[in-house]
């Protein structure tokens, strides 16, 4: 928790914040070992960042006073990440990783090699997803929550949603065996598609290429989805 992310309702008048949830209170005490008088980094969800002074820390409350939260959050990555739905624990970690790296648009996609049961996972509950996004923001000192979209059918996604996404964006499909190595140093708007464990099936690869995506690879090594996504983002942008 390198930033304490405040929801607007946790801010009282302009210069005071008060938080009561057990997770952050515990983190302040056990990890930060915070004491009254300490200066910590605060941010408002969707807004600015600044320093605040801890003025009270009890069993059920922490209070901060601050002058202004007017520094901008770090810039986002210009990417819409389309990720074949990973298994639940890997989904949780992947959401944290990519949020920390600055992804703001995430679509979780069904493909042939995604186990159907994954769509029933409690990790897909919006509150659960939000928890992981918030952990990623707190880690990277960001305040802008990503949007997560669910695309439970590959064909409707490829036929209807993808053409719209690709308007004005470069489409990159990461898939082992493609001929183009992952490019570097991009700044243009991009859609990055990453398949499931086991990869896209040949028909899906054809469909995505036909829609205008370029196939790219990360080398001879096959990486786990959570590793591959971080490596791709780090190399692309």
Contact residues for a copy of itself, defined by CB under 8 A = 2, 74-75, 96-97, 100-102, 139-142, 184-185, 218-224, 227, 230-235
Task: Identify which of residues 158 and 193 has a Cβ nearer to a copy of itself in the complex.
Answer: 193
What span, in angstroms and rounded, lies between the C-alpha atoms of 73 and 139?
12
Question: What whole-number distance in Å separates Cα of residue 84 and Cα of residue 69?
Answer: 37
Please tell me whether residue 99 adopts helix, strand or coil conformation: helix
Least Å distance, CB 131 to a copy of itself, is: 16
CB of 170 to a copy of itself, least distance (A): 19
Q: Which is nearer to a copy of itself, 112 or 141 (CB)?
A: 141
d(CA 156, CA 38): 52
DSSP annotation of 72 = P
Least distance from a copy of itself to the Cβ atom of residue 20, Å: 26
CB of 173 to a copy of itself, least distance (A): 18
Measured from the CB atom, the residue of 105 and 227 that comes closer to a copy of itself is 227
Calculate the CA 25 to chain-centre distance. 24
Cβ nearer to a copy of itself, comparing 93 with 110:
93
Contact between residue 211 and residue 162 where contact means Cβ atoms under 8 Å apart:
yes
């Amino acid at each position: 928790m390198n930033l304490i992310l405040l929801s607007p309702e946790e801010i009282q008048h302009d210069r005071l914040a008060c938080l009561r949830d057990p997770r952050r209170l515990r983190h302040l005490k056990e990890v930060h070992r915070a004491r009254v008088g300490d200066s910590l980094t605060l941010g408002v969800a969707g807004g600015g960042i600044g320093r605040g002074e801890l003025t009270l820390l009890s069993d059920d409350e922490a209070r901060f006073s601050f002058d202004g939260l007017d520094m901008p959050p770090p810039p986002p990555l210009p990417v819409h990440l389309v990720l074949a739905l990973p298994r639940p624990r890997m989904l949780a970690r992947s959401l944290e990783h990519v949020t920390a790296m600055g992804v703001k648009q995430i679509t979780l996609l069904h493909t042939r090699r995604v186990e159907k049961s994954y769509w029933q996972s409690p990790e897909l509950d919006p509150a659960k997803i939000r928890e992981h996004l918030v952990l990623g923001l707190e880690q990277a000192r960001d305040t802008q929550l990503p949007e997560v979209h669910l695309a439970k059918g590959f064909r409707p996604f490829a036929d209807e949603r993808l053409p719209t996404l690709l308007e004005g964006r470069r489409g990159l499909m990461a898939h082992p065996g493609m001929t183009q190595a992952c490019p570097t140093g991009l700044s243009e708007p991009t859609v990055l598609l990453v398949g499931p464990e086991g990869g896209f099936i040949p028909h899906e690869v054809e469909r995505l290429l036909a829609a205008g995506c370029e196939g790219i690879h990360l080398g001879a090594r096959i990486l786990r989805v959570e590793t591959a996504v971080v490596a791709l983002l780090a190399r692309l942008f």
